[in-house]
Structure 1
Amino acid sequence: MQEFDPRRPTYRLAPRIAVAIAGFIALGLGWRLTAGDDLPAVPPLDPAALTSLQHAAFASAEAMPGFDRGVSVPVTVRPGETMEAAVGRAGVGPEDARRAVQALSQATDIVNIKAGMAFVAAIAKPRQSRGPARLIGLSMRTGPASAITLSRTFDGALRLRELQEKVTAETTVACGEMEGSLYESASRAGASPAIISQASQLFGHKLDFTRDIKSGDEFCLVFNRKVTESGRTVEAGDLQYAEVKGQRFYGFKRGGTIEFFDALGQNIKGFLLRTPVDGARITSLFGMRRHPVLGYTRAHQGVDFGAGTGTPILAAGDGVILEARRWGGYGNWLRIRHNGGWDTGYGHISRYAPGIRPGVRVRQGQVVAYVGATGVATGPHLHYEVWFKGVRVNPIGAKVPQGTILEGRELVDFRLAKARIDGMLGGARPADDKSETPKLAQVDFDRAAKARLRR
C-alpha cells in the first residue's frame, strides 16, 4: 500500500473529470457559435405562438406552497371602477392588487380607464380556503395588436412584458353557402360587419334579401384587411369583389373611389335601390287597396316595407334633400331629388339621421332616417315612393337609368383587375365571356377560404 505523504499534493480524480467535461462542453458551444454558417438555421418562434405561450405560462403555473393550481378569471371593468378595484374583484388581496396596478402603470394608463375594458387574471386560491387568492399573472390587451402581461417570478416579484404583433395588409377571400341571413353567413366565413354592410348596399338594388335568397345559395366576398400575425383582423378595408346567388360584381377604382362593375365592365350601380331598408319585407304594393286605418279603397301610391321602429332607412340614390318635414298622414316625411327628374319619398319616419335637412347632398346607401309609425299608420313601417317628373310611379316596375360602361384604357385596367380576382378565386373565366351573370366556376371555395383566411 502506498503511504500517505503530507508534503505531496493529493490527487483527486472526480474534480478533474468534471473540469474536463466542462471544458469539452465549452469547446463544443464555442464551435457551434463560430460555425453557425455550417449548421441548419433554427427557425425563430412564431410571434403568435410566443404570445400564446406567454399568456398561458401564468395560467398553467405550478401551485405555490399552500395554494391550489392557478385558474384564469376574466374581469371586465365596471362604470366608475378603478383598476385596483377591478383586479381585487378577481379574488386577490389588496396588496397583490396594488402591486399589479403599480407594475401595469409602467406600460399603460391605469388611471383613465374606461368601463368595459377587459383583462384576464390568473389566481391561485389557498388550499384551506383562508385568506385572499394569490395573483399568478395578468393579461390585458392594450391595442389592436398589442398586449401586456404580468407573471410572478420565482422570487415572488411581478414581471411585466409588453407584446406587439406585426400587422400586415392582405387581400382575403371569404366564401360559403347561405345559412340564415347574409350577415350571419358571411360572419361565419370571416367577413367583418363593415364588409358585410358594403355588400348589402351593393346588392340592395339587385336582390330582395327576404325573398330572393334561399338556404344553400353560394356567396363569395373578396376584401382588403389588416391582420395580426395570429390571424386577428384589426381593420377592414375595401370590398373588392362580391358574389351572391350567381351575380358577380368587381370593384374598380375610378376617380379615387371604388365602383362596381359586372364581368363586361358595365357599372352595376342602379340609379335607385330596390329595397331602401335592409332586411325589410313588403307589406303593401303600389295600386288600389283598402286603407287599413281609414277603411275605404283608394290608390296606394307607393310600396310599404314592414320593419321595426329604428330600422335604418337608406337613400335610394345619390341626390339632394328636397324636404324633411311633417306632412299630413305621412307623418315625418323625407323627399330626395335625384338627377333626370327622379325623386324618392319616405314616410312615417320616427326620426331623421344627424345632419339631414333640405339642401344636404346624400349618397346612395347612406342612412338618412329611421323607420317609425308617425302619421296615419297601424304600426312601424316605411312608405316608399318614387316620382318621375312630378308623377308617382310604381317603385317596383319603374324603369330607371342604368350605369355607364367602361371603355378604352379603363376597360383594359378593369380586365386586369378582374383577372387577378378570378385567379384568387381559382376559377378564371375566358376573356370573351358574354354572360352578364355567369354561373359559378367549379371551385373548392372552402379550400380557397381556408388557404387565404386565417381565422
Structure 2
Amino acid sequence: MPDWNHDAVRRENLERAQANADHPEQPSVSHPFQGRWTRRHWAHASVLTTMCVLLAAIVPGFSTVLDASGTAQVQRMTLSLTLPKPSLRASKATDDNWQSVTLKPGQTLSGVFEELGIPYDQLAKVMQHPKIKPTLRKLRPGTALSFNLPADGSVRAMRLEAGPGVGETPIELEFNGTTLRERAVPVEITTRTVVLTGEVGKSLFASARKLGLGTAQLNQLTDEMFKYDIDFDSDLGEDDRFSVVVDQTWKNGQLANTGPVLAATFTVDGKLKSAFRYMRDGKPEYFTPDGRSLKRPFIRMPIPYARITSGFGMRNHPILGRMRGHMGIDYAAGTGTPIMAAGDARVEFVGRKGGYGNAVILNHGGGKTTLYGHMSRFANIRVGQHVAQGAVIGYVGSTGLATGPHLHYEFRVNGVHMNPLKMTLPPPTPLSGSDLMAFRNQTHRALDKIREVEDVVFQLDDDRVASAAKPAPRDRKKG
C-alpha cells in the first residue's frame, strides 16, 4: 500500500478521535439475549416465575378477607316474627302524670274536678258509675283522691285511696273513650311493733308529736297510764326521757295508722316509771312490771294539765277577806277546760250551789263523795246517772265566789272533808296465776326493746336505765 494512503488513514483516525473527545458518544446497550440463554438468564427467570405464582395465590385471599370485614358492619339477618301488640297500659305508662289531693272539710268532688281543670263530662261519668256512685256519696274529709292527667289535657284515670268513708282497698277508674272501667288497686299492708323514744324537752306534747304520736296516744300516757304517778305539769324536766311501744300499720310504704300504746316508760329524776297494757277480762288495763294495776279508785287530778293555786287547810279567803278553812284543792285552768270524774260513781247533784256556783257532786259508794265547783257549764249528765272514772262531767269556769276560772275539788268520807292529795285507798287486785306469767313474758320483751333503743339513742348503759339509785334532787318550781 502506498505511503500516502497510510498518511490519509492516520489523519482520518486522528480527526475522529478528536471529535469523539469533544462529543463523547453514549455507549449503546446491547440486548442481553444473544440468541441463547446463559445460566444467569435461567436463574433470573426462575425467581421471577416463583414470585408471580405466589402473588397469584395470596392476593385473592387478601381481597376476600378485606371484602368480608368491610361488609360485616352492614350485613343484617332478617327474620319475620309475629309479635304481640303492645298493651294500652304499657304504651301510656311513659305519659302518666298522677296528681293527688286530700278532700278538705266542705269540699265536694265537683270542686276537686274544677280545681284540677277536669272537664265536667268526666265528672258526670264518675258520678253515674253504678258501683262507685254509693261510695262517692260517703266521701269524708281526709280521703285521698288521685288523678292521672296526661299532657294532652284529658283524664286517663281516677283513684280513690283507702281512707275515711272508703273501703280498705283503693279503687281505680280508667277512662277509655266513652267507657269507664273499674279495678281494685292492690295494697301492701304491714304491721310493725316499734319503740319511739325521746326527751321531754320544753314540751312533752311537742316532743311526742315529732316522734309520730297522736292525740290518742298522748291521752293514754297522761290520762290512763301515768295519771296517778306523774304530775305532768310539774314533775317532768327537760332532760327527762320517755319511750313508748306501739304497733304501726303501713300501706304501700306509707304510715297509715299508729295503734294504742302497748308499753311506756318515763325516766323522772333518774327513776324509771313503767306501764304496760294488758287485756284482763276483755278490757285493757295498765300494770307495773310486777303485775300490780296502775289504776286507782280516784284520779290524782280530775282536771288535766292544771296547776294548784290553793291547797287544803286554813287560808285568808281572797273574796271574804278573812281566815277560813279551805276544804278542797283549787286547780287553775282556762275557761272551758274539761273536768273529769275522779272515780266510778253515781251522779248525786247537778246545779247551782251557793258559793260553789255551778257544781256537781258524785257518790262513789262506801260513804265517799267528791264535789266539783265553779263550773262554767255542765256536761250531758243527770242525777242518778252512772259515770266512769275519767268521764267529762263539766267545764272550768268562775261561777260563785271565784276571782278567776278554776276548779274547786273536794273529797269527803262519810261527810268529813279529807285532803284529796293525801288519800290512800287500796288498789285493784293484782294479776296472778297464768295471767301473771303471760304478762311477765310480754313485759320482759317490751322492756328489752325499750332498753335496746334507748342505749342507741341516748348511749346509756343498762345500769342507768334500770337502776333505782337515789340521784341528786332537782329543784323544780311547783304551782
Using structure 1 for the length normalisation, give the TM-score.
0.68
Cα separation, 1, equivalents of 2:335 and 2:192: 39
- The secondary structure found in structure 2 opposite 1:384 is strand
Structure 1 residue 151: deviation in Å?
Answer: 6.3
Q: Which of 237, 241, 266 pairs up with 1:218? A: 241
Q: Which residue of 2 aligns with 1:198?
A: 220
Q: Which residue of 2 aligns with 1:283?
A: 309
Deviation larger for 306-315 or 285-294: 285-294
Over alpha carbons, which structure has the higher Rg? 2
Q: Which of 130, 143, 160 pairs up with 1:140? A: 160
Q: Which of 316, 328, 340 pairs up with 2:342? A: 316
User: Could you list the per-position Cα deviations for residues 230-251 of structure 1 after superposition, in whole angstroms to 9, with x for gaps in the alignment?
Assistant: 34234634x3212123201223
Distance 1:142 1:17, change over 3 A: same
Q: Which of 269, 273, 280 pairs up with 1:247? A: 273
- The secondary structure found in structure 2 opposite 1:411 is helix
Structure 1 residue 269: deviation in Å?
Answer: 2.0
- The secondary structure found in structure 2 opposite 1:345 is strand
Cα separation, 2, equivalents of 1:164 and 1:308: 49
Q: Would the aligned equivalents of 2:95 and 2:151 in 1 still touch at CA under 8 Å?
A: no
Q: Which of 372, 378, 395 pairs up with 2:403? A: 378
Cα separation, 2, equivalents of 1:296 and 1:263: 49
Verify: 1:411 aligned to 2:436, yes or no. yes
Write the mapping of 1:2-21 to structure 2, written as runs, cut at 5 A. 17-19=77-79
Cα separation, 2, equivalents of 1:306 and 1:256: 37
Distance 1:439 1:336, change over 3 A: farther
Q: Which of 424, 431, 435 pairs up with 2:449? A: 424
Q: Which residue of 2 aligns with 1:392?
A: 417
Q: Which residue of 1 aligns with 2:207?
A: 185
Q: Greater helix share, 1 or 2?
A: 2
- The secondary structure found in structure 2 opposite 1:19 is coil
Distance 1:413 1:121, change over 3 A: closer
Letter in structure 2 aligned against 1:374: T
Q: Would the aligned equivalents of 2:319 and 2:403 in 1 still touch at CA under 8 Å?
A: yes
Structure 1 residue 380: deviation in Å?
Answer: 2.1
Verify: 1:230 aligned to 2:224, yes or no. no
Q: Would the aligned equivalents of 1:84 and 1:97 in 2 still touch at CA under 8 Å?
A: yes
Structure 1 residue 344: deviation in Å?
Answer: 1.9
Q: Which of 311, 315, 320 pairs up with 1:294? A: 320
User: Could you list the per-position Cα deviations for residues 276-323 of structure 1 after superposition, in whole angstroms to 9, with x for gaps in the alignment?
Assistant: 111112222222233333333322211111122222212222232222
Q: Which residue of 2 aligns with 1:341?
A: 367
- The secondary structure found in structure 2 opposite 1:194 is helix
Distance 1:282 1:415, change over 3 A: same
Query: Larger RCO: Structure 1 or Structure 2 (Cα < 8 Å, ≥ 6 residues apart)?
Result: 1
Distance 1:100 1:393, change over 3 A: same
User: Could you list the per-position Cα deviations for residues 200-223 of structure 1 after superposition, in whole angstroms to 9, with x for gaps in the alignment?
Assistant: 122111111111112232112223
What root-mean-square deviation, in Å, do the aligned CA atoms of Structure 1 and Structure 2 show?
3.9
Letter in structure 2 aligned against 1:249: A
Cα separation, 2, equivalents of 1:363 and 1:320: 9
Q: Would the aligned equivalents of 1:73 and 1:90 in 2 still touch at CA under 8 Å?
A: no
Deviation larger for 317-326 or 272-281: 317-326
Unmatched 5+ stretches in structure 1:
1-13, 27-53, 63-69, 127-132, 429-437, 443-455
Letter in structure 2 aligned against 1:309: T
Q: Would the aligned equivalents of 1:317 and 1:365 in 2 still touch at CA under 8 Å?
A: yes
Letter in structure 2 aligned against 1:206: D
Verify: 1:74 aligned to 2:101, yes or no. yes
Using structure 2 for the length normalisation, give the TM-score.
0.65
Q: Would the aligned equivalents of 1:104 and 1:110 in 2 still touch at CA under 8 Å?
A: no
Cα separation, 1, equivalents of 2:190 and 2:151: 41
Q: Which residue of 1 aligns with 2:59?
A: none
Distance 1:107 1:426, change over 3 A: farther
Distance 1:270 1:106, change over 3 A: closer
Letter in structure 2 aligned against 1:311: T
Distance 1:344 1:164, change over 3 A: farther
Q: Which residue of 1 aligns with 2:377?
A: 351
Letter in structure 2 aligned against 1:267: S
Cα separation, 2, equivalents of 1:124 and 1:362: 58
- The secondary structure found in structure 1 opposite 2:292 is coil
Distance 1:219 1:78, change over 3 A: closer
Cα separation, 1, equivalents of 2:148 and 2:345: 56
Cα separation, 2, equivalents of 1:391 and 1:171: 49
- The secondary structure found in structure 2 opposite 1:304 is strand
Q: Would the aligned equivalents of 1:140 and 1:149 in 2 still touch at CA under 8 Å?
A: yes
User: Could you list the per-position Cα deviations for residues 322-379 of structure 1 after superposition, in whole angstroms to 9, with x for gaps in the alignment?
Assistant: 222221121221122225433222112223333x223333332222222222222223
Distance 1:116 1:168, change over 3 A: closer
Structure 1 residue 178: deviation in Å?
Answer: 1.4
Instruction: Tell me the number of residue pairs that the alignment of Structure 1 and Structure 2 aligns.
Output: 371
